[in-house]
Amino acid sequence: MTRNTDKSSAKQPQLRAIELFAGVGGFRLGLEASGWEVVWANQWEPPGTPARQFAYDCYVERFDSANLHPEAHSNRDIAAVLDDVKAGEYEIPEHELLVGGFPCQDYSVAKPLSQAEGIRGKKGVLWWEIYRLLEMKEPKYVLLENVDRLLKSPVKQRGRDFAIILACLAHLGYGVEWRVVNAAEYGYPQRRRRVFIYAEKLPKHIEWDPAERLVASGVLARALPVAEREHFEVDHASIITDYLELPPDVYEVSNTIGLERRTSPFKAAGIMTRGHVWTRALTPVTPKRLVTLGDVVKKTKKVDESFFLDEASFERWAYLKGAKSEPRVNRASGFEYRYSEGGMSFPDPLERPARTILTGEGGTSASRFKHVVQAADGKRLRRLTPDELEELNGFPRGWTNTGMSDVKRAFCMGNALVVGVVERIGEQIRADAVMLPTRT
């Protein structure tokens, strides 16, 4: 991917974006490639000690070469930053687009759903800082990313968390599109499923046609085409399958949506305008040839010996990757139960896109979830290198090689997103925004 650094066009206004929970800059790379200028970014990991700020340090190092002034970096708790904005002691630049992959530990795919705490959890409260910033700055466009579990959490009230987000955006005057995207289905080398939430400030006289917006004219529909568009003109009425009307008060939403349901009311795609929600699953238009893990691995010419599996650990790796059905005992309660799980490919198939990169991908210890591939010599097995993990997410190789360890580099990629998906969406938001007068 090539970064777009041309900001000299006289025909189109330079549209500005700010980035929350920036990590190592995946959103920014995608936005720059699609013509946006990122004018401010926030990245902070509690408890705020230097040892925990390796992602921020990487972000600063990579983007300082773009003449980003120190004032445009923020390495503080976003809640404290917004307190200072409210008090008139700090200023966030004007912008047309707010983006962020807000922290998702409460909805992490690495935890059982029954343990997900939802929007009221320790990390979920950060949604309210996004809400505060939207109230303060009123950007025209918003693009957020999270794990797809957000649509169905928490376990005791399916869909409540996402309903709260939709209700908040409706209260602020935004229309919303969302889509669960498997990056591999759009030509990227990783099967990473994430929900992208696009919101647009709607004038009172504007109404969206939900079916048309969902499969044809919407930002996400144009960026990520779906097969249903082919039948849209002929069978318009069948495009929308489920409808939901949100209560006007967010508190009521919190206490009513998802009660007495086994499944979430929210499908993998949908539209919301003024509290009215239409939702359904969609079928991606997939390229004839998928980009595979092998396409990435074959570019690696030299691999450090530390990435190869040693014979002493091979049995442990095989056990963790294999199918199981065995008795276990809960340490806290003493309750005996049978634990079962299916087997995983070992090694990972090179002829398919990679599995989702997780934060625990780094380190030499055996793991069920780390990728293991056949080495080029055909004789040994090895883990993926940080450079390969970066390319699987669409980052330039070596992007996180800024002094952090291989374990931390892998952690950053587990927290990252697929840059090319952001670039696609950014292009379509910009296409709608070029006629918007920029604010000063």
For 69, counting Cβ atoms within 10 Å of its Cβ (0-12 exposed, 13-18 middle, 19+ buried), the class is: exposed
For residue 163, give both structure tokens: 């309903």
Round to whole Å and give the CA distance between 440 and 431: 21
8 Å CB contact between 130 and 182 = no
Average pLDDT, the chain: 89
Percent of the chain with pLDDT over 90: 73
- Judged against a pLDDT cut of 60, whether residue 437 lies above it is answered with no
Residue 50's pLDDT is what?
66
Peptide bond into 154 cis (omega under 30): yes
Residue 114's pLDDT is what?
46
Residue 214's pLDDT is what?
95
CATH 3.40.50.150 fits 16-286+417-433, yes or no: yes
- Judged against a pLDDT cut of 90, whether residue 435 lies above it is answered with no
Confidence of residue 440 (pLDDT cuts 50, 70, 90): very low
CA distances from 321 to 350, 361, 378 (A): 17, 14, 20
- Judged against a pLDDT cut of 60, whether residue 208 lies above it is answered with yes
The arithmetic mean of pLDDT across residues 354-362, rounded, is 97
Confidence of residue 4 (pLDDT cuts 50, 70, 90): very low
Unique residue bearing structure tokens 């939207």: 134
Confidence of residue 48 (pLDDT cuts 50, 70, 90): low
Instruction: Give the global pTM.
Output: 0.91
For 236, counting Cβ atoms within 10 Å of its Cβ (0-12 exposed, 13-18 middle, 19+ buried), the class is: middle
Unique residue bearing structure tokens 């504007």: 206
Domain ranges of the chain: 16-286+417-433, 293-385
Confidence of residue 219 (pLDDT cuts 50, 70, 90): very high
Round to whole Å and give the CA distance between 226 and 211: 13
Confidence of residue 120 (pLDDT cuts 50, 70, 90): low
Percent of the chain with pLDDT over 70: 88
Q: Which amino acid is at 234?
A: V
- Judged against a pLDDT cut of 70, whether residue 111 lies above it is answered with no
Residue 70's pLDDT is what?
58
- Judged against a pLDDT cut of 70, whether residue 166 lies above it is answered with yes
Residue 69's pLDDT is what?
58
Of 21-30, 45-54, 101-110, 279-288, which range is least confident?
Answer: 101-110
Q: Which amino acid is at 34?
A: S
Looking at beta carbons, which pairs linking 38-43 to residues 24 or more positions away fall under 8 Å? 38/63, 39/72, 39/93, 39/95, 40/72, 40/74, 40/92, 40/93, 40/95, 41/72, 41/73, 41/74, 42/18, 42/74, 42/75, 42/76, 42/78, 42/81, 43/73, 43/74, 43/75
Residue 51's pLDDT is what?
73
Residue 107's pLDDT is what?
35
- Judged against a pLDDT cut of 60, whether residue 254 lies above it is answered with yes
The arithmetic mean of pLDDT across residues 358-366, rounded, is 95
For residues 21, 22, 27, 33, the Cα torsion angle rounded to the nearest 10 degrees is 150
Unique residue bearing structure tokens 């445009």: 72
Q: What does the angle CA 289 – CA 295 – CA 298 come to, to the nearest 5 degrees? A: 155
Residue 438's pLDDT is what?
44
For residue 379, give both structure tokens: 């004789």
Residue 73's pLDDT is what?
84
Q: Could you tell me which residues come within 8 angstroms of residue 172 by beta carbon, excluding any fewer than 6 positions away?
A: 131, 134, 135, 138, 201
Confidence of residue 99 (pLDDT cuts 50, 70, 90): very high
Q: Tens of pLDDT along 70-92?
A: 578 899 999 999 999 999 999 99
- Judged against a pLDDT cut of 50, whether residue 106 lies above it is answered with no
- Judged against a pLDDT cut of 80, whether residue 232 lies above it is answered with no
Round to whole Å and give the CA distance between 36 and 61: 20
Of 258-272, 342-356, 423-437, which range is least confident?
Answer: 423-437
Which positions are catalytic?
Answer: 104
Closest CA to 227 of 218, 237, 239: 239
- Judged against a pLDDT cut of 60, whether residue 119 lies above it is answered with no
CA distances from 330 to 111, 304, 317, 333, 338 (A): 17, 40, 23, 6, 10
Residue 395's pLDDT is what?
98
- Judged against a pLDDT cut of 80, whether residue 124 lies above it is answered with no
